[in-house]
Structure 1
Amino acid sequence: MPLSSAPTSNTGTLAARTPVTAGVRDWTCPFCPLLCDDITIIVQDDGAPATPGTDCPRLAHALTWFAGSPAPAPAIDNVDTDLDSALNRAADILRATKRPLFGGLATDVAGARALYPLAAGCGAILDHLHGDAMAASNAALQDRGAFFTTLSEVRARADLLIVFCSTPSAKYPRFYERVLGGTEQPRELVFLGCPIDPAAQKTGNARLQGVLEEADPFDLLAIWSALAEGRGAASFSDNPGMAQALAVLLERVSAARYTVVVYEPAALPGPHAALLIEALHRIVKAINRTTRAGALALGGDDGALTVNQAVTWLSGFPLRTRVSKPTRLSGETSLDHDATRYATRRLLEAREVDALLWVSSYQPEPLPQALFSDIPVIVLGHPALRTMLGKRGASTVFIPVATPAIDSAGHVFRIDGSVVASLAATRASTLPTLADIVERLHGALASTPAARSQP
């Protein structure tokens, strides 16, 4: 994964947010990590964006959150206020906290880069909305390494795709269209441990087959891994049917020019999804001894891959890391990564954090259910979150921010981690970017209360 390619430009300036009000062709959609870039988007008379001729239910649903109504004002404890007052209250919360959690983290590269020094300044823990799936992928990569491929390689070379325990179109409606559509190369799509994805039937040049649809995924990978390492199917007398079916599949893999194993970390059964991911990559590595193969993980939604890449590039550790420079707690290191200890739900349920900064700039993701009402919260997010917060028992600061590709420009990583895509603003907007707000908050935190009160 090309961590060093993270852009250094700050897309939070007013110049970078210059919109195209007549519409944008070849617009890149930010609401799915496929980053489809063939969409025409227009701004209707009421200011709401629309994508005529684009048949993607996920995009259509996302755009329902962007009506043309004016953005709400910042708020403190459910009462409208001005931006400076909201920033000062947010700074007071961070100044008083001993162990804050920065959660949600649905943002772009510039937002992640701005959040990191703020987190370091107050000893915050960083975890994403989709932290469980990301943590499983990170654990497998850290323990055994990985053998990934890219969307371009799949499109240009793959003649055999094995979809493992997943229905790609459920979360990524245009997956087959974007990866295989418009090509004439014959393909074979094998759905292993799951039914055939109905959307795959629209791929005209592919032959579809379901194999062992009801099988346990751990049993599948245990036998498949052993067969890939050279054990014969006859040695599995306790499950000869599964072993024979997988042996036949391996023969097809050996005959293929380029095999791709497709899986979705979030769809794998927990709490040991990392073991399944590790086994899949072990099989891919074994296949590569005699032919070519790669793995394609479907994930990274809501900026998860983008933020994970940026944080890893900045700190050397992936998400679920506590950062502090210098350390604020005696006896603790300035960087501490623990994918289990620093999971959002566990931290909140165990009351191990005393404040939450919640970032949700793509869609209005509600606060975590495990959050206690007496924990102070700072919400930097979609304007629709204003009405979802209501009145809480503890201090609650809300500041609306721009959505990348709707209200502002930006950069995000594609689903395969190999491309950083540029996002173009769609409409005129007075909303500040997350990077703008975080940088101002960082400045307010660095100042003293006395200095802020001076004229």
Structure 2
Amino acid sequence: MEPDWTCPFCSLLCDGFALERAGEALVLQASDCPRARAGLAAHARSEAPAAFVDGSAAPIDEAVAEAARRLARWRQPLFGGLATDMAGARALFRLAARTGAVYDHGDGEALAQGLRALQDRGQCYTTLAEIRARADVVVCVGTQAVAHYPEFFRRCGLDRPDTPCQHLVFLGVEPPARLPDTVPVQCIAGSGDLLADLQQLAALLAGAPLRGAPAEIAGLAATLRQARYAVLVWEAATLPAHGALVVELLHRMATSLNRATRAATFALGGSDGAYAVQQVFTWLSGLPLRTRAAAGGLQHDPVRFAAQRLLDEDAVDGLLWVWSYAPDRLPPSTKLPRIVLGPPGMGPLLRQADAAQRCVFLPVATPGLNAAGHLFRTDGVVVPLVAARDDALPGVAQVVARLLERMEPAA
């Protein structure tokens, strides 16, 4: 048992973990991270890698051939889920270009919030290492951080006695139950309208003489101005409907602070391959997700090409769903024909949900569990993954390559 495993089950991609075998299961050692434990438990049983076509078991070669035939007939496919690693993303982009698909990640709505702000205003960003080494003020804006990213404060070094952090602030949210005891914690409830509170804070940091600002908001502005290195932490999944405006305000505040001191933002998000696919598709095409690979060229529209909207409006005629992580992340309910790439444990769940009809299921490996690969961490760092066990399963990239090989001209 050596501490050399990198956990793929959230975008922190924590390394240095150790695994111990208990029969067919893998048990996490030296950490109580609930997200890592849940991820391992979901894959505890090694399901037989059985492909099927419309609910009937089929040899993998026949299932791949049938999936390729169906995909070639679709006039406007949607590639959804896209929970894979960088190699899988490269292969899926080639397939999207071949089929003229629209593509969006399963968590595309949260992913789009930060993207819109980045496209409009740019950003001042930092890394886990910078927070650990330099940040003396950390403000969690509308997020408890560790509710979905349990190892976050440890990865920032806030549990160390020599941490540079002197202030940990929660704005607009109650602090979590378990917090590092090495850093003073402050909770600012705010008005209940996070956007309004941030607008006041941004105005104060920009030097506006804002009369009547709540004392706690004014005090936070003073703390941020006095900080040597302040970090504003936000989480894509917890943002309100107007989340892009919230993110834009955070970037604006970091810009104001950087005129006299140092400040940055830090986003929690991009799990299940979301950041990897976003980065890979962007550098291959010049455009991010929610783009259509049309015959006349690429078309990007973050509103029109949202996956759920396309399904609701019957704007596509087939769904290719790729989710190589949690077996229970099934494709959205739809009457459309589907091709599903997922862990072996997803196959029985599709049958139980009566979602096996008009569906081809192809089992694939999970990066970081039974396949090697690479993912982007939440702070933009590429992290290699090693296989914790060998189940002799192909990865998404291998299965998609076989689909491309078998593609026939549309009838």
TM-score, normalising length: structure 2: 0.95
| 2:397 counterpart (408, 420, 435) | 435
Deviations 1:204-235 (A, max 9, x none): 3211001134531111121112112211132x
Residue correspondence of structure 1 range 247-326 to structure 2 within 5 A: 247-270=218-241, 272-324=242-294
Question: Following the alignment from structure 2 to structure 1, what is the Cα–Cα distance between the partners of residues 277 and 105?
Answer: 8
Question: Following the alignment from structure 1 to structure 2, what is the Cα–Cα distance between the partners of residues 387 and 409?
Answer: 25
Question: Following the alignment from structure 1 to structure 2, what is the Cα–Cα distance between the partners of residues 219 and 35?
Answer: 34
Letter of the 1:91 counterpart: A
Q: Report the equivalent of 1:27.
A: 5
Which consecutive aligned stretches of 4+ in structure 1 deviate over 4 angstroms post-superposition? Answer: 391-394, 446-449
Whether 1:220 aligns to 2:191 is: no
Question: Following the alignment from structure 1 to structure 2, what is the Cα–Cα distance between the partners of residues 430 and 179?
Answer: 36
Q: Report the equivalent of 1:14.
A: none
| 1:61 counterpart (38, 44, 63) | 38
Question: Following the alignment from structure 2 to structure 1, what is the Cα–Cα distance between the partners of residues 47 and 348?
Answer: 14
What's the CA shift for 1:351?
0.3
Whether 1:404 aligns to 2:374 is: no
Deviations 1:410-449 (A, max 9, x none): 00011111x1111011112111111100000011115799
Q: Report the equivalent of 2:324.
A: 361
Percent of matched pairs sharing the same residue: 43
What's the CA shift for 1:265?
1.5
In 1, are the aligned partners of 2:47 and 2:345 still within 8 Å (CA)? no
**What secondary structure sits across from 2:4 in the alignment?**
strand
Q: Report the equivalent of 1:423.
A: 385
**What secondary structure sits across from 1:311 in the alignment?**
helix
Letter of the 1:295 counterpart: T
What's the CA shift for 1:241?
4.8
Question: Following the alignment from structure 2 to structure 1, what is the Cα–Cα distance between the partners of residues 401 and 108?
Answer: 24
What's the CA shift for 1:69?
3.5
What's the CA shift for 1:53?
3.1
Deviations 1:54-90 (A, max 9, x none): 2111111111122244423110011110111111111
In 2, are the aligned partners of 1:110 and 1:410 still within 8 Å (CA)? yes
In 1, are the aligned partners of 2:76 and 2:100 still within 8 Å (CA)? yes
Question: Following the alignment from structure 1 to structure 2, what is the Cα–Cα distance between the partners of residues 413 and 56?
Answer: 20
Letter of the 2:62 counterpart: S
Residue correspondence of structure 1 range 123-142 to structure 2 within 5 A: 123-142=100-119
Q: Any gaps of 5 or more consecutive residues in structure 2?
A: none
| 1:36 counterpart (14, 34, 38) | 14
In 2, are the aligned partners of 1:126 and 1:320 still within 8 Å (CA)? yes
Question: Following the alignment from structure 1 to structure 2, what is the Cα–Cα distance between the partners of residues 276 and 34?
Answer: 22
Deviates more, 1:349-358 or 1:181-190: 181-190
Letter of the 2:245 counterpart: L
Q: Report the equivalent of 1:104.
A: 81
Structure 1 residues 67 and 393: alpha-carbon distance in aligned structure 2, compared to 1, 3 A threshold: closer
Structure 1 residues 189 and 75: alpha-carbon distance in aligned structure 2, compared to 1, 3 A threshold: same
In 2, are the aligned partners of 1:366 and 1:388 still within 8 Å (CA)? no
Question: Following the alignment from structure 1 to structure 2, what is the Cα–Cα distance between the partners of residues 159 and 72?
Answer: 50
Deviations 1:302-335 (A, max 9, x none): 11111101111111111111124xx0xxxxx320
Whether 1:210 aligns to 2:187 is: yes
In 2, are the aligned partners of 1:402 and 1:433 still within 8 Å (CA)? yes
CA RMSD of aligned residues (A): 1.7
Deviations 1:14-59 (A, max 9, x none): xxxxxxxxx55221000011111020013333x3221133211111
User: How many residue pairs were aligned?
Assistant: 407
Q: Report the equivalent of 2:176.
A: 197
In 2, are the aligned partners of 1:100 and 1:123 still within 8 Å (CA)? yes
Whether 1:376 aligns to 2:337 is: yes
